[in-house]
């Protein structure tokens, strides 16, 4: 397993991280334990969850339970700001809510500190300076080690960095956004902004919700229970253009003795602005496949060809 610094911080994270959004929802506690055990065995140290994952904090609760006695082996990352109930009092990025949210997450995770505390999405109703000051206080109190953003745009990352620098506050060291061979929108503005200010990018949905595993086929019904078996995401991903790109990418990988999954994760892990790829798993075998995929470091020529294919 490779380890890389998260942005310009000294925090080292495994090149493959474990996305924990399935814990507490799709997975029972024993299944979660099996996935976590395998991840630790393979050297994964970045475990990424959120207060809303699994519904009403269940992912955090399961993760806290299975990490008992092993807390010092992991970089524990969670998020706040998404709705945890009805009304304005259970969401957002205000100082009042952050102070409450972090205590709730600490209790569920059964820990006294969070390694990486991330704002899950921008909160238009709260000035970002208020959010940064509250997070800075948490760092100085020892409840949080580092802070990051998620789903921010390039200009929001720049604004946050400017205010942190101006007021001598803790800056964001990471930006977690959707990024994969089919969705490269963040390369326009977010990637240059993060490169400029030393922010590490943590891609989520590296497999485009499973599309880049090859299990979806044009003209065939999606596998039962799969993420893209219905809903708005299915309509956005399962289209003729993406299937055509998938075919070209599969041929590219096959010619080099790899699978499409290995290309999807290996391509992200080969990007200099990506310290860790956040990949979810429901079975230990999937964790193994994700870790093995990151061992493919694409050459500059392979990266250029994959870029050309994926942009068509």
> What are the angstrom distances between the C-alpha of 94 and each of 69, 84, 108, 131, 190?
33, 14, 21, 6, 24
The pairs formed by 40-44 with CB atoms below 8 angstroms and a separation of 24 or more are 40/70, 40/73, 40/74, 42/1, 42/287, 42/288, 42/291, 43/1, 43/14, 43/291, 44/1, 44/14, 44/16, 44/17, 44/18, 44/287, 44/291
From 85, 80, 84, 121, select the one nearest 98 (Cα to Cα). Answer: 80
Asked, for residue 247, whether it belongs to a domain, the answer is: no
Asked, for residue 140, whether it belongs to a domain, the answer is: yes
Task: Give me the pLDDT at residue 218, please.
Answer: 72
Distance between alpha carbon 274 and the CA centroid of its chain, in Å?
A: 11
Asked, for residue 72, whether it belongs to a domain, the answer is: yes
Query: Does 53 qualify as catalytic in the annotation?
Result: yes
Total of domains in the chain:
1
Among candidate residues 3, 53, 113, 179, the one labeled active-site is 53
For 30, the enclosing helix (H) or strand (E) is helix 29-41
CA distance 265 to 75: 20
With beta carbons less than 8 A apart as the criterion, state whether 210 and 281 touch. Answer: no
Ranges of the chain whose pLDDT falls below 50: none
- Rounded to two decimals, what is the model's pTM? 0.94
Asked, for residue 216, whether it belongs to a domain, the answer is: no
Asked, for residue 218, whether it belongs to a domain, the answer is: no
Task: Give me the pLDDT at residue 206, please.
Answer: 96
Asked, for residue 37, whether it belongs to a domain, the answer is: yes
CA distance 76 to 57: 15
CA distance 78 to 295: 26
Find all residues with CB under 8 Å of 51, minimum gap 6, and list them: 57, 60, 78, 79, 80, 82, 84, 101, 104, 105, 108
Asked, for residue 158, whether it belongs to a domain, the answer is: yes
Domain that holds residue 139: 3-210+264-296
Asked, for residue 248, whether it belongs to a domain, the answer is: no
Read off the CATH number of the domain in which 49 is found.
Answer: 3.20.20.100
């Amino acid at each position: 397993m490779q380890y890389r610094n998260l942005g310009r911080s000294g925090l080292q994270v495994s090149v493959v991280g474990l996305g924990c959004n399935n814990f507490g929802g799709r997975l029972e506690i024993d299944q979660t334990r099996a996935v976590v055990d395998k991840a630790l065995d393979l050297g994964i140290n970045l475990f990424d969850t959120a207060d809303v994952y699994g519904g009403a904090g269940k992912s955090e609760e399961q993760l806290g339970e299975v990490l008992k006695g092993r807390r010092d082996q992991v970089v524990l990352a969670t998020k706040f700001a998404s709705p945890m109930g009805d009304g304005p009092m259970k969401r957002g990025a205000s100082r009042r809510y952050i102070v409450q949210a972090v205590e709730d997450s600490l209790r569920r995770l059964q820990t006294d500190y969070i390694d990486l505390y991330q704002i899950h999405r921008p909160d238009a109703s709260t000035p970002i300076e208020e959010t940064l000051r509250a997070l800075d206080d948490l760092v100085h109190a020892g409840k949080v080690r580092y802070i990051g953003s998620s789903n921010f745009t390039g200009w929001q990352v720049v604004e946050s960095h400017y205010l942190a620098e101006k007021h001598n506050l803790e800056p964001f060291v990471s930006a977690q956004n959707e990024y994969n061979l089919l969705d490269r929108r963040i390369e326009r503005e977010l990637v240059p902004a993060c490169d400029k200010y030393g922010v590490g990018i943590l891609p989520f949905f590296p497999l485009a919700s499973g599309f880049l595993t090859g299990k979806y086929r044009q003209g065939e019904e999606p596998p039962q229970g799969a993420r893209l078996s219905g809903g708005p995401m299915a309509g956005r991903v399962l289209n003729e253009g993406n299937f055509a790109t998938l075919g070209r990418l599969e041929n590219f990988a096959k010619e080099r003795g790899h699978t499409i999954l290995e290309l999807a994760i290996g391509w992200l892990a080969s990007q200099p602005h990506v310290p860790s790829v956040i990949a979810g798993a429901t079975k230990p075998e999937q964790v193994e496949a994700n870790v093995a995929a990151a061992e493919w470091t694409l050459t500059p020529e392979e990266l250029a060809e994959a870029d050309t294919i994926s942009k068509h």
